Structure 1
Amino acid sequence: MTEGVQGARLRRAALAVYPAVLAGERLDFLLDRSGLRGSERASLQWLLSGALRESGILQELLQHLLRPGKQDEQILALLQLALFELRHGQRPDFAIVNDWVSASQLVGKSWAKGLINAVLRRYLRERPGLDADAVSASHPDWLLQRLQDAYPTDWPTIVRANLQAAPLWLRVNRRRISRDQYQALLQEQGHASQRCATLPDALILPQSLPVRELPGWEDGWVAVQDGAAQLAAEILAPQAGERILDACAAPGGKTAHLLSLGADDVLALDSAAPRLQRLEVALQRQGLSTQTRVADAAQISSYWDGRPFHAILLDAPCSATGIIRRHPDILHHAPDLPRLCQEQARLLRGVWPALAPGGRLLYATCSLLPEENELLVQDFLHTQADACRVDDPRCGQRLPGQEEMDGFYYALLRKSAAGEAA
Structure 2
Amino acid sequence: MTINIRALAAKCCYAVIDKGRSLSDELPKQQDKLLGKDKGLLQEICYGVLRYLPELENDVRHLMQKPLKGKQRVFHFLLLVGVYQIRYMRIPDHAAVSETVSATSTLKNRHMKALVNAVLRGFLRTQEAASKLENKTDKNLPDSIKYNHPSWFIKKIQQSYPEQWQGILDANQQRPPMWLRTNQQHHTSEQYQALLIAAEIDIANIEVNSQAIALAHPIDVAKLPGFEQGWVSVQDGAAQQAARLLDCQPNDVVLDCCAAPGGKTCHIIELTPDIASMTAIDIEEGRLTRVHENLARLGLTAKVITADAASKDWWSGELFDRILLDAPCSGTGVIRRHPDIKWLRKADDIDKLVILQQQILDNIWSLLKPGGTLLYATCSVLPEENCQQIARFVEQNQDAQLIAITGNNLDTDENSIGWQLLPDAKNMDGFYYAKLLKLK
User: Normalising by structure 1, what TM-score?
Assistant: 0.90
1:317 aligned to 2:328?
A: yes
Change (3 A) 1:259 1:128: farther
Q: CA deviation at 1:359?
A: 1.4
Query: Residues of 1 paired with 2:27 and 2:432: CA distance?
Result: 29
1:268 to 256, 280, 286: 280
Instruction: Name the CA distance, whole Å, in 2 between partners of 1:260 and 1:195.
Output: 22
Alignment of 1:32-71 (within 5 A): 32-34=28-30, 35=32, 36-70=34-68
Q: SS of the residue aligned with 2:437?
A: strand
List 4+ stretches of structure 1 deviating above 6 A. none
1:286 aligns with 2:298: yes
| 1:50/1:165 contact within 8 Å kept | no
How far the C-alpha of 1:51 sits from its partner, in A, is 1.3
Equivalent position amino acid for 1:327 in 2: H
Whether 1:392 aligns to 2:388 is no
Letter in structure 2 aligned against 1:46: E
Bigger shift: residues 223-232 or 35-44? 35-44
Deviation of 1:148 (Å):
1.7
CA contact (8 A) 1:243 1:266 kept: yes
Are the equivalent residues in 1 in contact too, given 2:250–2:272 (CA < 8 A)? Answer: yes
Mean alpha-carbon deviation: is it higher for 380-389 or for 74-83?
A: 74-83
| Change over 3 Å in CA distance of 1:185–1:50 after alignment to 2 | farther
- The alignment status of 1:331 with 2:329, answered yes or no, reads no
Amino acid at match of 1:390: I
The Cα shift of 1:267 comes to 1.2
* SS of residue paired to 2:325: strand
| 1:245 matched to 2:232 | no
Paired residues of 2:309 and 2:363 also in contact (CA < 8 A): yes
* Structure 2: distance between partners of 1:304 and 1:367: 31
Q: Which residue number corresponds to residue 29 of structure 1?
A: 25
CA contact (8 A) 2:83 2:123 kept: no
Q: Are residue 110 (structure 1) and residue 121 (structure 2) matched?
A: no
Shift of 1:351: 1.0
Give the deviation of 1:160 after TM superposition. 0.9
Alpha-carbon RMSD across the aligned residues, in angstroms, is 2.3
Structure 2, unpaired ranges of 5+ = 411-417
- CA distance change for structure 1 residues 212 and 21 in 2, over 3 Å: closer, same or farther? farther
Task: Name the SS of the counterpart of 1:328 in structure 2.
Answer: coil
Within 1, Cα distance between the matches of 2:91 and 2:28?
Answer: 26
The residue number in structure 2 matching 1:303 is: 315
Which residue of structure 1 aligns with residue 390 of structure 2?
Answer: 377
- Letter of the structure 2 residue corresponding to residue 311 of structure 1: R
Structure-1 residue corresponding to 2:221: 211
User: 1: CA distance between counterparts of 2:106 and 2:238?
Assistant: 41
Residues 65 and 123 in structure 1, CA contact (< 8 A), matched pair in contact too:
no
Instruction: Compare 19-28 and 201-210 and name the one that shifted more.
Output: 201-210
CA contact (8 A) 2:78 2:100 kept: yes
Report how far residue 161 of structure 1 moved.
0.9
Structure 2 match to 1:13: 8
Give per-residue Cα distances to partners, 1:343-378, cap 9 Å, x unaligned: 100111111122122211111111111111111111
Whole-angstrom CA distance in 1 between matches of 2:5 and 2:392: 50
Q: CA deviation at 1:405?
A: 0.5
Task: Kindly state the Cα deviation for residue 241 of structure 1 after the two structures are TM-superposed.
Answer: 1.2
Gaps of 5+ in 1: 1-6, 418-422
1:239-291 deviation per Cα after TM superposition (whole angstroms, max 9, x unaligned)? 22111111221110100110110143211111222222321111111111111
Q: What TM-score results when the alignment is normalised by the length of structure 2?
A: 0.86
d(CA) in 2 for partners of 1:239 and 1:39? 45
Q: Distance in 2 between matches of 1:128 and 1:220?
A: 52
Q: Measure, in 2, the Cα distance between the counterparts of 1:375 and 1:391.
A: 15
Contact kept? 1:323, 1:406, Cα under 8 Å: yes
> Once the 2 structures are TM-superposed, how far is the Cα of residue 321 of structure 1 from its aligned partner?
0.7
Which residue does the alignment assign to 1:362? 375
Q: Is the partner of 2:207 in helix, strand or coil?
A: coil
Matching residue of 1:3: none
Residue 78 of structure 1 aligns to a residue whose secondary structure is helix
